[in-house]
Amino acid sequence: MKGIEREPLPGFRDFEPADCAQCNFIFNQWRSVAHTFGYEEFDGPIVEPLVLFTQKSGPEIVEQLFAFQDKGERAIALRPEMTPSLVRMVGKRLATLKRPTKWFNITEQFRYERPQKGRLRSFYQFNADIIGESSSAADAELIALAIATFQKFGLKKEHFHVRLSDRQLWVLWLKAFGVDQEQEVGALLGILDKWERRSPENIQEDLTASFKDSTKATLFLNTTEVLRKARTLDAIRECFHNCQPSSDMEALEQRLSEFKILLQELENLGVRDWVTLDLTIVRGLAYYTGFVFEVFESGDQGRALAGGGRYDHLFEKLVGQPMPAVGFAAGDVTLTDLLRKQTLFPSYQSAVDCYVVFEQTERQRALLLVQQLRAAGFSVLYSLDLQKDLGKQQKKAYADDPHYVITLTHELVSQAKTQIKGAESEQIVDLKSLLEYLKQ
C-alpha cells in the first residue's frame, strides 16, 4: 500500500534533533549579539494582510508570496520578510516612540522561490532595525552588528565580507540620464539589481525597453559597466565626471561626503576592513532609499548571507507618518552551509545527565528519585517498559551513554543506598546524599 509522501514540501525542511540543535545554536548566538548591541526582541503574526506586502516591497517579493484567502474571505499572506510587519507595529506608537528604537527578531519567513542552494521556501531570519535615527552613525552601527553576528560564530575576515553600496548614488546616476520619475527609477533599479545574473544582450533589451531609445540604452550600459567596477569614492567621482557630463556635481559631492562619514564611522568601530565599497549591490526590495549592503561568503559566488539598508520612506508610505529607519536581515540557510563547511558548529550531544535503572520491585522508589532529580534540574531517563529486568535496562542505559547510570536494587534500597556509575568512577552512595553528589 502506498503511504503518504515522506518528504516535506519542496523548499521546506524537517529538523531532526541534531538539525534543531544547530538551528538553536544559531538563534542563541544571534540573540546574544543583539543584546550586546542594546536591541530588544519583538515578534509578530506569521500571516498578515496581503496588501502589507504588495504595497511597497516590490515586484520580486510580490511574485514570491504564499498568498491565499482565509475563511473570512480576507486576502492574506505568510510573511516573506519582517520589515513591513515591523513598520505596521511600530507605526501604532510613533508619537511616543523612544528614539532611536532598536528592535530585533528571529522568525520563520516564507517565499515561493525556486528551491536551490542557499534559497528555500521557508527559512529563518535574524532581523535588526534602528528606527528614528537618520544619521549614518546608525547605518554604521548596524553594519557593525551584522559583522559581529558572523564573528560570533568564529568566522574571520577570510570567510566573509560586506559589500556596501548607495541607492542615492544610483538615483543621481539615473537622473543624469534623464530618469527621475519614481516608477521609471524603480524599474531601472530593478534592472541594475539583476545585472549580474543577466547576459549583456538581455540587459540591453531591458534598457532599450525602459529608455525607448537603443542609443541611450547602449550609452547607459557601457558607462554603467565602468561605474559598477568603481571600488573607491574617487573612482566613483571620476566615473560621474568622465561618463556623465550632465551629472549634478553638487549633489554628487554632497552624497560622497556623506559616504565618507559613513566609512569613517566604520573605521571608528574597527570594522572598516570587512567592508568593500561596491555599487553592484542595489538590493531587490523596492523600499530602500540610501546606503544598502549585503554580506557574502568570501570567494563564493553564491547567495547572500545577509542584506539590508536604509528605508526612510517606508513608514510614510505604509502608515502615513515619516520616520527614518535602517535595518538588515541575515538568513539561516546560507549561514548553516557556511558553518558546516568551516566545521564551526559544536558537536551534537544527545546524552542525558542520568539514566536510572532498577529492579521492578523498586519502581515506585526509583520513579520518586527520577522526579526529584528532574526537579533539581538534571535530565533523566528511565525505562518505560514495565517488564524490562535490570540487566536489559542497564544494556539500554549504557547504549544511550548518559553521564551517570544510577542503579536501585532491592538490596541497595533496603540499606537506603544506590550505585552511581560515571565514565571513570563507580560508587555506592547514600540515597539522601545523591543530589549533593551529582551537584558536585
Binding site for ligand HAM (CB under 6 A): 81-83, 111, 113, 119-120, 123, 125, 127, 129, 285, 304-308, 311, 327-331, 333-334
- Cα-to-chain-centroid distance, residue 142: 14
Cell of 168: 542615492
Specify the residue, 52 or 176, whose C-beta has the smaller distance to ligand HAM.
52
Q: State how far the Cα of 326 lies from the Cα of 41, in Å rounded to an integer.
A: 16
Q: CB of residue 86 vs ligand HAM: minimum separation in angstroms?
A: 7
- Long-range contacts of range 203-212, CB-CB < 8 Å, 24 or more positions apart? 210/179, 210/184, 211/177, 211/179
Q: CB of residue 416 vs ligand HAM: minimum separation in angstroms?
A: 57
Q: CB of residue 422 vs ligand HAM: minimum separation in angstroms?
A: 43
Specify the residue, 127 or 407, whose C-beta has the smaller distance to ligand HAM.
127
Burial of 238 per CB tally in 10 Å (0-12, 13-18, 19+): middle
Q: Which residue bears the cell 475563511?
A: 71
Q: Give the DSSP H/E element, type plus range, for residue 9.
A: none
Q: CB of residue 121 vs ligand HAM: minimum separation in angstroms?
A: 7
Q: State how far the Cα of 126 lies from the Cα of 107, in Å rounded to an integer.
A: 7
Give the other-Cβ count within 10 Å of 193's Cβ: 20
Q: CB of residue 274 vs ligand HAM: minimum separation in angstroms?
A: 16
Signed CA dihedral, 213, 217, 218, 219: sign only: positive
Specify the residue, 333 or 397, whose C-beta has the smaller distance to ligand HAM.
333
Q: CB of residue 434 vs ligand HAM: minimum separation in angstroms?
A: 48
H runs (alpha helix) in 40-135: 50-56, 59-63, 83-91
Q: CB of residue 310 vs ligand HAM: minimum separation in angstroms?
A: 8
Q: State how far the Cα of 404 lies from the Cα of 425, in Å rounded to an integer.
A: 9
Specify the residue, 63 or 436, whose C-beta has the smaller distance to ligand HAM.
63
**Euclidean distance between the first and final Cα of the chain, in Å?**
55
Specify the residue, 81 or 362, whose C-beta has the smaller distance to ligand HAM.
81
Q: State how far the Cα of 29 lies from the Cα of 18, in Å rounded to an integer.
A: 17
Specify the residue, 100 or 327, whose C-beta has the smaller distance to ligand HAM.
327
Closest by Cα among 323, 277, 313, 18 to 169: 277
The radius of gyration computed from the CA coordinates of the chain, to the nearest angstrom, equals: 29
Half-sphere exposure of 429 (CA within 13 A, CB side): 17
Residues 6+ apart with CB under 8 A from 433: none
Q: CB of residue 407 vs ligand HAM: minimum separation in angstroms?
A: 49
Specify the residue, 123 or 240, whose C-beta has the smaller distance to ligand HAM.
123
Specify the residue, 230 or 306, whose C-beta has the smaller distance to ligand HAM.
306
Q: CB of residue 119 vs ligand HAM: minimum separation in angstroms?
A: 4
Specify the residue, 109 or 407, whose C-beta has the smaller distance to ligand HAM.
109
